[in-house]
Structure 1
Amino acid sequence: MDTLPDVDVAIVGGGMSGIYTGWRLLTSRLTGSKLAGWEAARGKLKVTLFEGSERIGGRLLSARSPHMPDTTAEVGGMRYVAPAQTLVTSLVECVLKLPWHEQVVDLPGNIAFLRGKLLRTSDLGNAAALPYWLDPAEAAWLAAGKGGSPAGLIGRVLTRLMPDLMAHLNAGTLRQYLETVTVDGLPLWQHGLWNLLAKGMSADGYAAARATVGYDCLGGNTNALDLTAEYFDFTPNVSYRMVNGGYETVPWELQSRFQAAGGEIQFQQWLAGFAGTTLDDGSQGITLRFQDGTTKTARAIVLAMPRRSIELLDPEGEVLGPANTQFRQDLASVAPIPLFKCFLLYPNCWWQDSGVSSGRSLTDMPIRQCYYWPAGQQGTTIPKRDAPGLVMVYDDLLNVGFWEGLDKRAEVHKAGLPLSLRSPGHHWPMFEPKAVEMTAESADPFAKRLMENWTQHPATKQMVNELHRELMQMHGKDSAPEPIDAAYMDWSRDPFGGGVHLWNVNVRSDVMLTRMTQPVDDFPCYICGEAYSTNQTWAEGALQTAEIVLQQRLGVPKGEWQDG
């Protein structure tokens, strides 16, 4: 009698796409799929998820400070767009039935501190008030109230180059339209966005737009087709939704359902490499080799991993081996985008003296975006002036290296190391929060997880000092109470390589989207995750590629809830 492989499907990576894939595999009807025979041979499909860290969630990282245990901070991904992002919206609201709320972002009275000048969001439509030299046409366009902010100048150029763009955006067919557009005789995917913007925007107009859109990457020079679609995800009428208990509640709930369905999770298991093998029944299988020297056999492997995590694997086997030059080129078709988030907890909400209490303020200093974080379990309460309050600092791309230089731990700069950076015997000037009297440990394991997420991501004193200085400056304050607690994450750190990804110029993402889900024909290795999706920077992209693997590659039927 043939010996069965150790597992049927080995999933590597416990982020959103990995745990979602495992849950779908074990809770779907497999009749008619290629998995049906595997299920019949064992009696029950065996799916094991291997995760290098101690938690499920990946780039979703919700956290709570012991000083505000009823308030959840989002150190990683924080929101989804409804109703456009159908997969994640249905999952959160129809399947898991998690309570959610709309996020407040831009308010007229919030701050825009640009080139040393303190403005309000409502001033951004006034060219005369801006510390930029806009050309007369740009200034007139702003004065006519068409943009509300220099960030709208990006849309102004794009709609002039593509006159039917807004009609398709309103009709929900933007991406299909962008795939048909040509500029200067070339399809949109062969242009960099910055190259296009330069055709119709002054140098200072570009600087003002990039500063006030809030994200450096939205004015960058990656694939113009995908970045145009991404830019219009951030238009003013978009509804941003947040999960009340923290976005990490989603993978946490999926983990519970996956394990209840018979799924196995092995934590602190770092894959070293994998290669094809012939199983006892003569079929094609996989041997997985882990960093601790152990091996496992599987009928299929799903790499639920971003670009950098895959690059850190040993170059061996049919997919990763040096002979497969095509895969290496395909792997490099996206650019990892550095993201930095830090939460500072203050003893009181001193920024309210500057007339701001919710939403975000902007600056061109390295902190870039400042969110006044709501309090409470519902995630919607504005803290009182004298109550403790959280500020989130959020920046990407150009400014992440600034903060990296203020983390003095040498370990964070070394490639391929696990995320645990709190090894004893090293001495660095950590930020030491004031002591807090802890109550008995919560019986809620998820609450404990959120506390651990906070304490495992400490900021250094140098970092906190500079964050505090810039926050005071942008709010027009010479002094303010010092923070009493702080947590941060630089998502460019290994094994992530970046917080999000964007397609490079000259890449047809609509083609690569499917190709990357099975990089070698007739070989049972599949890839999913946000990185190689056409909904990059969002959890929706992780689910999109997972569904391609499930439905198109493995024959798993579409979930009934996806039609709702």
Structure 2
Amino acid sequence: MVALPDIDVAIVGGGVGGIYTGWRMLTSRLSGSGLAGWEAARGKLKVSLFEGSDRIGGRLLSARSPHMPDTTAEVGGMRYVAPAQTLVTGLVECVLKLPYHTQVVDLPGNIAFLRGRVLRTSDLGNAAALPYWLDPAEAAWMAATGGSPASLIGRALTRLMPDLMIHLNAGTLRQYLDTVEIDGLPLWQHGLWNILAKHLSADGYAAARATVGYDCLGGNTNALDLTSEYFDFTPGVSYRMVNGGYETVPWELQRRYQAAGGEIQFNHWLAGFSGTTLEDGSEGIALRFQDATTKTARAIVLAMPRRSIELLDPVGEVLGPANVQFRQDLASVSPIPLFKCFLLYPNCWWQDSGVSSGRSLTDMPIRQCYYWPAGNEGATIPKRDAPGLVMVYDDLLNVSFWEGLDKRAEVHKAGLPLHLRSHGHHWPMFEPSKPEMMAESPDDPFAKRLTDNWNQHPATRQMVNELHRELMQMHGKDSAPYPIDAAYMDWSRDPFGGGVHLWNVNVQSDVMLTRMTQPVENFPCYICGEAYSTNQTWAEGALQTAEIVLQQRLGLPKGEWQDG
């Protein structure tokens, strides 16, 4: 009898895309697919997922402070857009049937602290109140429409593309953008900033970028994809959050994947892989791990972002130096640094400034400040004298500002977790002001996972000092109680390379989207994840590329819920 490979499908990477792919393989009808013969040879398809860390979830990282165990913070991805993001909406609401709530973001009374001036969100439509020198036409447009400076980006785009709003409202925006030419070139051959400059004054651009909240949304990556991305963050969009944490999604998928017979090997870092001839004469994959162990498989799925793939050894048919095309394709997206920090205060002192929920904005390095609701239903505003969480969220250059305030040398080394602690900066740094705020060790495994996530991502004292200073300044306070707990993540660190990804200029993402899912024709290596999707920055992108691998490359049927 011919010996079988160790496994049929090796999935490398335990983010939402990887665990979703494994779950779909083991719970779908395989007859007629490329996996049917493998299942017949073994009697049951054997799928193993290899994850370098000790958890499934990747950039979905939910966490709970032991001092506020009834409230879940989102240190990674936190929300999805419904109903537009059909895959993740269907998965959360129809398959896993997880309770969810709508996130509150922009409220009229929230703060906009810009160039040292304290404004309210309701002031942003008044050009005379803004500390910017706007073009008279921009100021007049804002007065006529009640738009904020962030909407000046939309104004510029609609002047360049007059039919844009028609297609946005009809749900055909992307198809329309594919047809647009500016100065004789397709939209994907332009940088967004380059075309915005045609219809935005210098200060109009500065004000728009400051008030949209994310520097990358006004950046100079691929204008087609970034235009589409910008309209995911416009007023009227409905953001939904999973009660109890977004990490519930991969946690539930992990449970179902393992119940279907799937294997997970934690703390297994892939070093490299190459093609090999299996004993039945077919082409397969030889995997080599950093601990020198090896495995053979019929196929490999790299559920990994750009930087994680770049860290693999440059050997084999895909990663070897002879495959120049793949190296160029791999570099077709740019990783975007993202920083999130949650500060737990003994009371909600910011409420004295008239803010209690949603988001406030500033041009200081903290950029976005979310007043986190208590509990996990999304609607409970903490009482003024009760403990409360504030989330600080920023991207691009601001991330390097906070990186300079993490004094632990270990976290700057590739692949090492944040909970490795240097002398003098170790946890705990904060003492709870009230002993009753301490929680007992939770018996529920998921609750323990969330507490571990918090404890493994401690902020340094230097970082918290500066965060606290900027938050006080933003809220017009000379003093405020010091935080009693803090956790953060800089997603630009290895092995992630960035919190999200954006397509570069001159890349036709609709073509690259499919090409990257199988980078070498007829070779059993597949790639999925948010990075090379056309729903970048969202979990939807990871599921989108996973479905291309599953349906187009391997011949699996759609999930039943996808037809609804």
Range of TM-score over shorter length:
over 0.9
Corresponding residue of 2:295: 296
Kept in 2: contact 1:71–1:379 (CA 8 A): no
Q: Output the CA distance in 2 between the equivalents of 1:375 and 1:428.
A: 29
Kept in 2: contact 1:407–1:460 (CA 8 A): yes
Structure 1 residue 432 corresponds to structure 2 residue 429: yes
- What are the within-5 Å matches in structure 2 for residues 42-441 of structure 1? 42-147=42-147, 149-414=148-413, 416-419=414-417, 421-422=419-420, 426-428=423-425, 432-435=429-432, 436=435, 438-441=438-441
Kept in 2: contact 1:431–1:486 (CA 8 A): no
Kept in 1: contact 2:223–2:505 (CA 8 A): yes
Q: Output the CA distance in 2 between the equivalents of 1:362 and 1:28.
A: 45
- Structure 2 length-normalised TM: 0.98
Q: Output the CA distance in 1 between the equivalents of 2:441 and 2:361.
A: 38
Kept in 2: contact 1:193–1:221 (CA 8 A): yes
Corresponding residue of 1:462: 462
Task: Please state whether the residue corresponding to 2:94 is helix, strand or coil.
Answer: helix
Kept in 1: contact 2:353–2:476 (CA 8 A): yes
Kept in 2: contact 1:459–1:487 (CA 8 A): yes
Shift of 1:421: 4.0
**Residues 148-176 of structure 1: CA deviation (Å, up to 9, x unaligned):** x1000000000000000000000000000
Kept in 1: contact 2:410–2:416 (CA 8 A): no
Task: Please state whether the residue corresponding to 2:401 is helix, strand or coil.
Answer: helix
**Residues 82-136 of structure 1: CA deviation (Å, up to 9, x unaligned):** 0000000000000000000000000000000000000000000000000000010
- What are the within-5 Å matches in structure 2 for residues 427-506 of structure 1? 427-428=424-425, 432-435=429-432, 436=435, 438-506=438-506
Amino acid at match of 2:512: M
Q: Output the CA distance in 2 between the equivalents of 1:29 and 1:94.
A: 19
Task: Please state whether the residue corresponding to 2:271 is helix, strand or coil.
Answer: strand
Shift of 1:440: 4.2
**Residues 277-312 of structure 1: CA deviation (Å, up to 9, x unaligned):** 000000000000000000000000000000000000
Task: Please state whether the residue corresponding to 1:137 is helix, strand or coil.
Answer: helix
Amino acid at match of 1:471: L
Amino acid at match of 2:47: V
Task: Please state whether the residue corresponding to 1:506 is helix, strand or coil.
Answer: coil
Shift of 1:427: 3.8
**Residues 492-539 of structure 1: CA deviation (Å, up to 9, x unaligned):** 000000000000000000000000000000000000000000000000
Shift of 1:145: 2.3
Amino acid at match of 2:361: L
- What are the within-5 Å matches in structure 2 for residues 22-37 of structure 1? 22-37=22-37
Q: Output the CA distance in 1 between the equivalents of 2:321 and 2:255.
A: 39
Q: Output the CA distance in 2 between the equivalents of 1:522 and 1:308.
A: 25
Q: Output the CA distance in 2 between the equivalents of 1:235 and 1:66.
A: 35
Task: Please state whether the residue corresponding to 2:145 is helix, strand or coil.
Answer: coil
Amino acid at match of 1:123: D
Kept in 1: contact 2:101–2:241 (CA 8 A): yes
Amino acid at match of 2:429: E
Kept in 2: contact 1:430–1:461 (CA 8 A): no
Q: Output the CA distance in 1 between the equivalents of 2:276 and 2:129.
A: 67
Cα pair distance change 1:212/1:440, threshold 3 Å:
closer
Shift of 1:443: 1.8
Kept in 2: contact 1:500–1:536 (CA 8 A): yes
Amino acid at match of 1:5: P
Shift of 1:378: 1.7
Shift of 1:429: 5.9
Structure 1 residue 515 corresponds to structure 2 residue 512: no
**Residues 337-392 of structure 1: CA deviation (Å, up to 9, x unaligned):** 00000000000000000000000000000000000000113232100000000000
Q: Output the CA distance in 2 between the equivalents of 1:441 and 1:346.
A: 21
Kept in 1: contact 2:359–2:369 (CA 8 A): yes
Amino acid at match of 1:164: D
Kept in 2: contact 1:431–1:460 (CA 8 A): no
Amino acid at match of 1:129: A
Q: Output the CA distance in 1 between the equivalents of 2:43 and 2:386.
A: 57
Structure 1 residue 531 corresponds to structure 2 residue 528: no
Structure 1 residue 15 corresponds to structure 2 residue 27: no
**Residues 234-289 of structure 1: CA deviation (Å, up to 9, x unaligned):** 11010000000100000000000000000000000000000000000000000000
Kept in 2: contact 1:316–1:322 (CA 8 A): yes
Cα pair distance change 1:352/1:180, threshold 3 Å:
same
Task: Please state whether the residue corresponding to 2:244 is helix, strand or coil.
Answer: coil
Amino acid at match of 2:430: P
Shift of 1:439: 4.8
Shift of 1:430: 5.3
Q: Output the CA distance in 2 between the equivalents of 1:313 and 1:354.
A: 50
**Residues 193-242 of structure 1: CA deviation (Å, up to 9, x unaligned):** 00011011110000000000000000000000000000001110100000
Amino acid at match of 2:266: F
- Structure 1 length-normalised TM: 0.98
Kept in 1: contact 2:365–2:398 (CA 8 A): yes
Task: Please state whether the residue corresponding to 1:399 is helix, strand or coil.
Answer: helix
Kept in 2: contact 1:429–1:461 (CA 8 A): no
Shift of 1:412: 2.0
* Deviating more after overlay: 309-318 vs 431-440: 431-440
Kept in 2: contact 1:180–1:187 (CA 8 A): yes
Amino acid at match of 2:493: R
Q: Output the CA distance in 2 between the equivalents of 1:197 and 1:254.
A: 42
Kept in 1: contact 2:75–2:489 (CA 8 A): yes
Shift of 1:65: 0.3
Q: Output the CA distance in 1 between the equivalents of 2:502 and 2:356.
A: 33
Q: Output the CA distance in 2 between the equivalents of 1:160 and 1:503.
A: 23
Task: Please state whether the residue corresponding to 1:32 is helix, strand or coil.
Answer: coil
Amino acid at match of 2:477: K
